[in-house]
Structure 1
Amino acid sequence: MPHLHIEYTANLPDLDEQALMAALNQVVCSHPSVLHDSEVKARIHRIASFRIGTQPQDRAFVHVLLQLLEGRSEATRQELAQALGAVLRQQVPPRPGLHVQLSVDVAEMNRPCYYKHQG
């Protein structure tokens, strides 16, 4: 724990997935609320089929969901959301003719309902 889920639309073919995951992981791993970098798990999904409003041909998005076990303050979650958003702005530059929406959601996971086994 934490888990990073990254989704982006297929009309961003030049998105460097590895660079984006590395930069996002760096933000989360370096945050004082995260004790071990080995706990941060990232995955990225390219969305081939999507619709944004009524004109998907000139619209795109990159969305990051960071899931944390409950117990961190709202200020900590806001700080992480802002830092992850800054990474998105750096890693996903504007593209002429394409409206790209960048978003981050930091969600809490219910500690009693989270299962993890390390072998």
Structure 2
Amino acid sequence: MPHLVLEFSANIRDGFDPSAVFPKLHSALAAAGGFRPQDFKSRAVRMDGYFIGDGSQEQSFVNLDVRTFAGKPVEVREAVSAAALAVLTEAFPDTLRETACDISVQITELDRPSYARLRSVDTTTTTSGS
């Protein structure tokens, strides 16, 4: 935890590279929210099926959903949102300049008792010798 789900409309102008943006998000959010960088699970989803406002292709969106367990103080949640928004603003300069783009960040608080997961055991083996 946390899980980051970044959705963006297919008409963004920037060449989006998750492997460049997610490390920056992880670092910024770890500092702002007290998360451990190794605990982030992130994915980017290009939305080919979307409709914004009147349907103009000159409108675009980027939305980051930060899913984490409930209980962080409002000031921490605000700092996490602000840090994420700063990183995303830097990641989509062409889209912001060339389209009516809405970049948003939301914090989704998960109920710890209803969250379930299975963590597999590391099955890699290390051998010495040769």
Q: TM-score scaled to structure 1, two decimals?
A: 0.89
Question: Does structure 1 retain, via aligned residues, the 8 Å contact 2:7–2:62?
Answer: yes
Corresponding residue of 1:27: 28
Tell me which residue corresponds to 2:123: none
1:4 and 2:4 matched: yes
Rounded Cα–Cα distance in structure 1 between residues aligned with 2:82 and 2:32 = 12
**Correspondences of 1:10-89 after superposition (within 5 Å):** 10-12=10-12, 14-31=15-32, 33-34=34-35, 36-89=36-89
Q: CA RMSD in A?
A: 1.6
Alignment pair present for 1:105 and 2:106: yes
Match of 2:116 in 1: 115
Distance 1:56 1:83 in 2: 30
Deviates more, 1:56-65 or 1:13-22: 13-22
Count of equivalent residues: 118
Letter in 2 for 1:47: M
Instruction: Encode CA deviations 1:40-74: one digit per residue, 9 max, x unaligned.
Output: 11000000111101133111111000011011111
Look up the equivalent residue of 1:115 and give its one-letter code.
A
Cα deviation for residue 15 of structure 1 reads 2.1
Amino acid across the alignment from 1:116 = R
Structure 2: how far apart are the matches of 1:69 and 1:29? 14
Mapped partners of 1:33, 1:3: distance in 2: 14
Give, in angstroms, the shift of residue 17 of structure 1: 2.6
1:100 deviates by 1.2
How far, CA to CA, are the matches of 1:102 and 1:32 in structure 2? Answer: 20
Q: Which has the larger radius of gyration?
A: 2
The percentage of counterpart residues that share the same residue type is: 26
Secondary structure of 1:56's match? coil
| Aligned residue identity for 2:109 | E
Structure 1 residue 12 displacement after superposition: 1.5
Distance 1:82 1:32 in 2: 11
